[in-house]
Chains A and B, each alone.
Chain A
Amino acid sequence: MRSFTYERAASPAEAAKAVATTQGAKFIAGGTNLIDLMKLEIETPTHLVDVQDLGLDQVEDTEDGGLRIGTFVSNTALSAHPRVREDYAVLTRAIQAGASGQLRNKATTGGNLLQRTRCAYFYDTNMPCNKRKPGDGCAAIDGFSRQLGVIGTSDSCIATYPGDMAVAMRALDAVVETVKPDGTARAIPAADFHRLWGDTPHIETALEPGEIITHVRLPAPVGGQHFYHKVRDRRSYAYALVSVAAVIQPDGTGRVAFGGVAPKPWRSEAADAQLPNGAAAVVRTAFADARPTEQNAFKIPLAERTLAGILADAQTGTRS
């Protein structure tokens, strides 16, 4: 690990300014992704700004009946929050499908959104990777790509955004609240938060340098039955090959987002509209522009079967 200096900021604006004005600075929240990458010298910050003292560790009710989640709320606390379990069960399910108990206790809301890809070549500093080192090439495109993306990828990088929580947040139309280094606040819809990176795969989100996540806002509950089904190589403690977050209403309409397939949680309103016509219709629409590799083409039929399983459960009222 490279040497770094460390500070704790006292306000979001101060933290944002510190990161924007100190060369090589980064925020640290739980540290479960950043420290891992620092040990491998894939991330080499020279200064860390810790966000734990910003008072952003509460979940509050909003006036419109939704929730406002502080960025430092742990994954465990968020998934166990009574209102999340009651009104946003897809979020509890998604969080609990990810990582391990120990990691969820430490991982935070903002840090989880910003976790980096799990492409094996990104982690292997002996291999070329455009995301790790712009212009380096991509070892995955002609390499082992079974885990990687099938849609929204580019000729520069076919990795995925690997997380679970964000897939549920996309289905719930969450909004990410931030503060910029000049102190101004803005709200970024989950749909626009993660980028389709094109030929700049090292730039993964809409955040500007130094911009800090303060909260994630959930709109008022939408009702319906909530599902998060994750398919992976073992039953627990593994990243998704494909995951499906869905909210299904009694009349068969609803919303659906797919994880493990793209640089961002994958949802399209046109595909949502196909829900009453069944899983095949939804997946045909959502994955119309898919460009899978030979090794990961299985993800598309897998997405269809996973969604079909959810729709069958919804009809019989099996476990939300």
Chain B
Amino acid sequence: MAENGFLKVSRRGVLAGGVASATVGQASILRAQDTAPGSAAKEAKVPVRLTVNGTPQELELDSRTTLLDTLREHLKLTGSKKGCDHGQCGACTVMVNGTRINSCLSLAVQHQGDEITTIEGLGSPEDLHPMQAAFVEHDGYQCGYCTPGQICSAVAVLEEIRNGVPSHVTEDLTGRMRATEMEMRERMSGNICRCGAYSNIAEAMAQVAKG
């Protein structure tokens, strides 16, 4: 009983957390506008230079701007999605200098000089990345909201295995890493799919891993 009760509350807590953080976001935008000139909460604009999908970008941003908001709101690259904004869902996954991160938990100012690759940079409708093509072939999605993050993560996961990064399910830490089904499922656990397309995503990845 107590356990079930807790689970229910914690689920609702997660939802409420999401709603609360959306309101917090709005409140801080309002505050920034309300208190613009001569107030204590001075707006700190900072220059940010980074390369996104091969194109150098120079921006002036509020220091609070996350990498995700930079991509979506300032560069209009809306492929990367905001699911939770708290590092819990993986919808915002992009590659920074070749490694995947959650762009919602990173500030743009932390990325001076970095090379960012988003879903838009992996391939185009005319020239799909093999992982994009495999997701289409295997129906690795339903609504598609988590998909850009899933694909960026999937590409990076195969690279991590090639580079010998171990995982929680790796039996032999000193041997060669292999792209088994278990390995790929564990390594993709940071990407949540509300539609439950997991088994098709695993098939798409297995196809690309086989090469």
B is a partner of A: yes
Chain A residues engaging chain B, CB cutoff 8 angstroms: 1-6, 28, 30-32, 35-36, 39-41, 48, 50, 52, 76, 79-80, 82, 85-86, 89, 92-93, 96-97, 99-103, 105-106, 120, 123-125, 144, 146, 236-237, 294-295, 319-320
Residues of chain B contacted by A123 (CB below 8 angstroms):
13, 17
- 7 A-B residue pairs with Cβ-Cβ distance under 8 Å, sorted by A, are A3-B41, A3-B64, A32-B106, A89-B173, A101-B156, A102-B90, A105-B100
Closest partner residue, chain B, to A320 (CB atom): B173
B63 & A102 in contact (Cβ 8 Å cutoff): no
Contact of B173 among A5, A50, A52, A85 (CB under 8 A): A85
Q: Beyond the given A28-B107, A31-B105, A85-B174, could you list 12 further A-B residue pairs with CB under 8 A, ordered by the A residue number?
A: A3-B43, A3-B44, A6-B109, A30-B106, A36-B105, A52-B110, A76-B165, A96-B167, A101-B156, A124-B13, A124-B16, A319-B171
Closest partner residue, chain B, to A103 (CB atom): B87
CB distance from A213 to the nearest CB of B (A): 18
Nearest 6 pairs of A and B residues by beta carbon: A100-B190, A236-B189, A237-B189, A85-B173, A80-B165, A96-B168
B173 & A101 in contact (Cβ 8 Å cutoff): no
B41 & A39 in contact (Cβ 8 Å cutoff): no
Residues of chain A contacted by B99 (CB below 8 angstroms):
76, 105
B151-168 with Cβ < 8 A to chain A: 153, 156-157, 160, 163-168
Contact of B102 among A2, A85, A103 (CB under 8 A): A103
A50 & B110 in contact (Cβ 8 Å cutoff): yes
CB distance from A2 to the nearest CB of B (A): 7
Residues of chain A contacted by B136 (CB below 8 angstroms):
none
A102 & B101 in contact (Cβ 8 Å cutoff): yes
Residues of chain B contacted by A146 (CB below 8 angstroms):
2-3, 6
Residues of chain B contacted by A52 (CB below 8 angstroms):
110
Contacts known (A36-B87, A101-B160); A106 close to B101, Cβ less than 8 A: yes
Total B residues in contact with A, Cβ cutoff 8 Å: 58
Complex Cα gap A52–B43 (Å): 24
Q: Which of B101, B171, B186 has the most CB of A within 10 A?
A: B101
Complex Cα gap A3–B153 (Å): 31
B6 & A39 in contact (Cβ 8 Å cutoff): no
Complex Cα gap A39–B100 (Å): 22
Contacts known (A36-B105, A40-B24, A102-B90); A3 close to B32, Cβ less than 8 A: yes
Residues of chain B contacted by A294 (CB below 8 angstroms):
2
CB distance from A260 to the nearest CB of B (A): 15
Residues of chain A contacted by B160 (CB below 8 angstroms):
76, 101
A92 & B6 in contact (Cβ 8 Å cutoff): no
| Interface check B80, CB cutoff 8 A | no
Contacts known (A2-B28, A31-B110); A101 close to B86, Cβ less than 8 A: no
Residues of chain A contacted by B105 (CB below 8 angstroms):
31-32, 35-36, 103, 106
Closest partner residue, chain A, to B111 (CB atom): A52
Closest partner residue, chain B, to A86 (CB atom): B174
Closest partner residue, chain B, to A237 (CB atom): B189
Contacts known (A31-B106, A41-B24, A146-B6); A103 close to B63, Cβ less than 8 A: no
Closest partner residue, chain B, to A226 (CB atom): B173
Complex Cα gap A50–B21 (Å): 24
CB distance from A13 to the nearest CB of B (A): 22
Mark each residue of chain B from 28 to 66: 1 if its CB lies under 8 Å from any CB of chain A, else 0: 100010000000011110100000000000000011101
Complex Cα gap A97–B42 (Å): 41
| Interface check B117, CB cutoff 8 A | no
| Interface check B187, CB cutoff 8 A | yes
CB distance from A148 to the nearest CB of B (A): 11
A2 & B41 in contact (Cβ 8 Å cutoff): yes
B1-36 with Cβ < 8 A to chain A: 2-3, 5-6, 9-10, 13, 16-17, 20-21, 24-25, 28, 32
Complex Cα gap A40–B101 (Å): 20
CB distance from A28 to the nearest CB of B (A): 7
Residues of chain B contacted by A2 (CB below 8 angstroms):
28, 41
| Interface check B118, CB cutoff 8 A | no
A35 & B107 in contact (Cβ 8 Å cutoff): yes
| Interface check B93, CB cutoff 8 A | yes
